[in-house]
A and B are shown apart, each in its own frame.
Chain A
Amino acid sequence: MLIKPTITYAGSCPLFRSLEMQILNAIPLDKCEWRRTFQRPTKQVRLEAQAQQFNVSMLEKYKQGEWSILEHPILHIFVTECNDIDTYKATIKDEIDAWLKLLTSYGVLDWMILLVETLDMRKTKNILPRTTVLDKIRLDFGSKNDDRCISVLNPAKFEQKSTESFRCLVQRIRFLMLTSYNRNIVKYEDLLRSKRERRNLDGWDFRQYFFLQEDLALIFEKLELHTEALIQYDELDALFSQYVVQQTDSFRQPLDAFNGICLNRVDKFEMRSKIRNRSLPCSLLEFRNYLFERQAQLLFTSNDIPEIAKRLLNFLFSTLREVDYIKVECQEGSLACWSFVCALEVLQLCEQAMEPNEVTVQCFQHCAPIWNLAKDKLYELGKLCGLLPGSTPTSEQLHIVVQLSSGIGDDNSTVEQQQHFLLANPQTRERSPNRKPKKSATQQLKEALGSNQAFEKLYLELAELAISTYKHVARLRSARLVGLDLGKFYCIHMNEPHKAVGFFTDLLRELKTENWQMLSSQTLLELANCYRKMGDTLAYTKSCSSISCCVELETLVRTFYFDEFLKSLKNLNTTLSAQSSMENANFCVLEDHFRILDIEVITPKPIIQDDFVVVQLKMESFYPREIVAETIKLCYELETPPALEEVALTTPTTKESSISQLKVSLQLSYKQDNKLHMSTVSCDSPKTKHSVRRTSSTKRKLSPSVHADFSNFVQAENTALQPGVNIIELKAKAMRVGNWQFKQLSLCMSRLEFLSEQLPISPPSFEVSTKPASATLEFKTLIAGIIQPILLHVSGGSFIFPADAKVTLRCSKNLRIRQALKSNDETNNLANDSTFETILQVPLKHFKSFEERCIPLEVLTDMPGRKTTKHHEHHIAISCPWSRTELLIPIEFQPAMEATCRLHTCGTQKFLQVIMKGLEAHLLLKQAMVKCDVSGVKLVDLNPKNQQPIEIYKTLMVTYLYEIQVEPLKTEEELPIVKVHFVIQYASLEQPTIWRNYGCAFDLVDYTTLFKLQGQLEPNELCRLRTVCNMNLKITKIHENPYVDLMYEVLNDQNLWAVCGRSAGVVSMKDVDSHSISLDVMPLSTGFLPMPSIRLSKYTAGGKTKADAHSKVHPFPPGQVYNSTKSLQIHVIASVSADQ
């Protein structure tokens, strides 16, 4: 169908005809700027035109409002070659006038007057006419629009000179045509609007309206306004959808032919003429096809191929809905055929037009669902016609095939035309000549319907294409969904289940990760079916087990698969090959079948090495019935300190940041004089095709391949697990010390092992430890000499004691020990100190680990006869069954009492005073005795006889007195030391019947009196205050002795006495027996004053040798000097003068 705007001509028709070809050919040569109304963008348009002689009938329709913009003449030209003004005035003017009046009467304003000048050169050279015909015409007709009057040199006569004027003419014609379109389109649109508004009235003809509007669309298309043309078609599409629903009857005829769309028809308007021809009723499909083809054509020319693909599904399904709504009678499968052909047609177009540019991705995006649709429709057909692999078509089905094949229709295009069609678009590229041209969609379908093999091949091809296209546009989930269909096809129809497994497992993995339980259980069903067909018992068993645990499924299904599971579980032992590969591992995911609710360590803390660890496992079983697990193991591993991991983590992050650094570079540009003009920092960002691309979620494996270290585990055997919550006790011996953490749960049934992926968020940890056994002695302050309680504390720790274990205690010298006696034994053994031993063995009967036992013991140590109050140090060595080395425990004893002695002199008589000083203990004393083995020395007991035992306690002192009588012959030279033994019996207040001896040895030295000191105060017995008295001292030698020089000192209290003159002096006793000294003293106080005490010392004069430059004074030991002035008192009375 040719669409060219029409131009009419009137006036001098032969003249125009002579110019016609030239003008019409010239019009499309150049583009013209089209200024459009309503501020629409200007456009460069290339026009074409056809010419017709002016005919009034053409305008009739226009006037009536029944016109079509397509047929309506767009420009009316009046042609004349009148050069003579007179002729013009006489005839031409009237002609033009009549012509114009006729036009205006029809409301046509698009006219043009063309004056063809056949200029006579000789004439014009001489006479320049005052007014030309053109001026006249302009004056007469073109008062407002003189651009509509134009003159042109006849190009037939002036080939050289006419070019310029002719170009002007063509330009003017183009311009006027476009102006005319501006006006006419607006008018036409008004017309359409008014027509459309009447669509609900009776008798409104859609078909008529359709062509009216389509004409506009065609004009738009002609004027290269593809989008606006498309809008017209879209409007028609929408209107048609309404119309179909209202006017169901008009399309209700049965559908015999169901040709698909053909995007590369030879005659694009073949269908248009068919639709237009009312005698041939056109089917809904044909109409729809035509509409879509037109839309596709427009989209193709505006190079928006993805949009075609995008629109296809809408087109197909809305049409199918309409067919369904109208209830068009049609052959079963015909619609599928139609959809299939349409889909394939669009896909082929997309494929051909694909360029490695951005359009492609968009295109692929829309293509993917179409591939899928084509695949589905083909499957539908295959099912209908018995073409699925493994089935043979019946005669009825063959009949259907024949019917369908005829209904599809024949191929409408050829390869050459295809090429031509593609070449029409400059963007499409040449296909390589080696490549075989694709068969058309119709051909492909026919072939596929022809044989099972062809069908299978095509189906697989389509499915693969759908999957790969989905994958290409990063829609993995959709790809997997298609994979599900393909898997089903492989498994059910082609009996090649091994090919299907991959598709199912892929999908299953994703669904499980994302918790789409219902879907994953459905996929599992497929997978189980697959494995059953493959004869893969292990996998089948696993799947059955998983299915029976799918809570979403119906109980009937679950129990069926549960039975299957048990059945094949039995067979598993015989069929399973000995070695299990990684793929074929007999691991199952525990989480699919059980849910671990809680893990609790029951054994009280701390758990000792070699003890049993009992763990309570709370687990929910999803199986529909009871199952028996042969072993349930829960392994544990040593806890690793988290610090190490942190260190490891930090290093790679820094690395990553360095990688992701942008490639920034510095650019400097200089001026001509080498000065810096500009500096920039630029960054080439790598071009990413997809700005945002989703990453799939973390992958979860279908079967756990990681088998944790099961060297340490707690386990339970042959446990029956009920559906729902079970509480199981797992047991194991704690072998190694450390902090343990549970890692993985394994559950074995026959050859199957269920392994947990991960335990609930915080698996409890437990500690296995050992505790050393220990033995200690506990005591308070210990006192020597009496029985002291002491506690042996044995704590068993984690040591396991033999039945006859004992602890041996060995005491140091003088220390004895025994086990404490029970109170009722008191009478028997109380007195018996012999039960104390230096080595004691304490039996530990039936001593258990971690037992703590306190064994009371008693210790006794001798009280040594020393006078000092120092502590007595002892120690006890303990040897224990758990240790080879002895444990040495130091013990200190404090003495119970203390004995000291003093020597007293009375003239030549000597007395020994023994002082018992009570210390810590509360004791009874009796039978004090002194012994002296030296002959010639006799000790006379001066203490009262037969006295009761004396109580002694802290801070209390008991004194015993003895007189020492040394035989006169035995001089000190003979017996320089007299050893005296003091013995006393004592008993503690708690046990007053047991008397122990306390002995103490004293050495008596310097016991002979050498000098006697006497003193007298004169006047005797009457001293007055502040009156000088005379004190006479007399030193008498009693025994011969080597001390010659003596020094005396008066040691007076300065408040009581004042010594007048020297208070000290040295006397020599050489060759004299006595010496008298007189001193003056004065009392300073009244009353009975002690006499000033005198001290006598040995004196060694200095200066005799160089070493002893100074004199030295040495005191005498107490027994060698008898001072008789000691404790004398003087009565001092107040002085007379004082009284006065």
Chain B
Amino acid sequence: MSTYYFVIVGHNDNPIYEKEFSTVNKELRKEDHRHLSQFIAHAALDLVDEHKWKTANMQLKSIDRFNQWFVSAFITASQIRFIIVHDNKNDEGIKNFFNEMYETYIKHSMNAFYKINTPIKSTMFEKKSEIFGRKYLLS
């Protein structure tokens, strides 16, 4: 049993895409828990910003702990932050997931009708993230 909360954060520290992956049954999951993941992701922004200048890598790996939760981050070339809050160690899977989502995000951001930093509301993007989440995070 593991849960992953994935969020893309724009330049103004605003979430532009959120997605949750979990093996736990939806009814069982407490609503409160979801907020906590969000809260943790939000709180980790400070640390992401601190780390992103310390390395040339896009993968920032696991950067923060909040009780049992890990926070892993990825930063794109355009300084868009990908953050995953998870309670299981899964470095390899998360790395792959980030890479795939980066690819997907680039494609989406090249859409002339998409404005950077605005929420992503694309079914294609949604579908892709669903696929990659199941492939790399939950398997």
Contact = CB atoms under 8 A, between A and B. Distances in A.
Interface of A: 313-314, 317, 320, 369, 372-373, 376, 474-478, 480-481, 484, 511, 513-516, 518-519, 522, 691-694, 697
A692 B53 CA distance: 8
Contacts of A518: 35, 38
Contacts of A476: 46
B65 A313 contact: yes
B42 A369 contact: no
A691 B51 CA distance: 12
Contacts of A317: 67-68
A974 B68 CA distance: 143
B2 to A, nearest CB: 11
- What 3 A-B pairs come out closest when comparing CB atoms? A515-B14, A514-B13, A478-B43
Given A477-B45, A693-B50, 6 more contacts: A320-B68, A372-B67, A477-B43, A516-B15, A518-B35, A694-B49
A711 B40 CA distance: 47
Nearest to B18: A518
Interface in B29-62: 35, 38-40, 42-47, 49-50, 53
Nearest to B48: A694
Given A369-B65, A519-B38, A697 B46 contact: no
7 contacts: A372-B66, A477-B43, A480-B43, A484-B39, A516-B15, A522-B35, A691-B53
Contacts of A515: 12, 14-15
Nearest to B38: A519
Nearest to B13: A514
Contacts of B39: 481, 484, 519
A692 B46 CA distance: 11
A477 B42 contact: yes
A1063 B49 CA distance: 122
A369 B64 CA distance: 9
A921 B66 CA distance: 106
A511 B65 CA distance: 21
A376 B67 contact: yes
Contacts of B45: 477
A1128 B50 CA distance: 126
Nearest to A517: B15
A578 B13 CA distance: 40
A805 B89 CA distance: 91
Contacts of A477: 42-46
B12 A692 contact: no
Interface of B: 12-15, 35, 38-40, 42-47, 49-50, 53, 64-68
B44 to A, nearest CB: 7
A342 B3 CA distance: 27
B38 to A, nearest CB: 5
B66 to A, nearest CB: 6
B131 to A, nearest CB: 24
Given A317-B67, A373-B67, A511-B42, A697 B12 contact: yes
A477 B40 CA distance: 9
Contacts of A511: 42
B66 A369 contact: yes
Interface centre among B38, B40, B43 (most CB of A within 10 A): B43
Contacts of A522: 35
A511 B39 CA distance: 10
Given A484-B39, A515-B12, A692-B53, A478 B44 contact: yes
A484 B43 CA distance: 12
B42 A481 contact: yes
B38 A694 contact: no
B35 A516 contact: no
Contacts of A484: 39
Contacts of B15: 514-516
A465 to B, nearest CB: 16
A481 B40 CA distance: 8
Contacts of A314: 65
A314 B50 CA distance: 21
Contacts of A373: 67
A369 B70 CA distance: 12
B9 to A, nearest CB: 8
B67 A478 contact: no
A511 B12 CA distance: 11
Nearest to A313: B65
Contacts of A372: 66-67
B87 to A, nearest CB: 9
A516 B42 contact: yes
A477 B64 CA distance: 13
A484 B68 CA distance: 18
A694 B15 CA distance: 18
Max chain B Cβ within 10 angstroms of own Cβ: one of A373, A477, A513, A693:
A477
Contacts of B66: 369, 372, 478, 481
Contacts of A691: 53
B92 to A, nearest CB: 17
A376 B66 CA distance: 11
Contacts of B40: 481
A519 B5 CA distance: 14
Contacts of B65: 313-314, 369
A589 B18 CA distance: 26
A574 to B, nearest CB: 36
B68 A475 contact: no
Nearest to A476: B46
A376, A476, A515, A693: residue with the most chain B Cβ atoms closer than 10 Å: A515
Nearest to B45: A477
A480 B14 CA distance: 17
A694 B13 CA distance: 12
Nearest to A310: B65
Nearest to A314: B65
Contacts of B12: 514-515, 697
A514 B44 CA distance: 14
Contacts of B49: 694
Contact of B50 (A480, A516, A692): A692
Contacts of B64: 369
Contact of A694 (B35, B42, B46, B67): B46
A592 B112 CA distance: 29
A516 B13 CA distance: 9
A597 to B, nearest CB: 17
A1044 B64 CA distance: 138
B67 A516 contact: no
A566 B34 CA distance: 31
Nearest to A698: B12
B46 A475 contact: yes
A511 B14 CA distance: 9
A949 B87 CA distance: 121
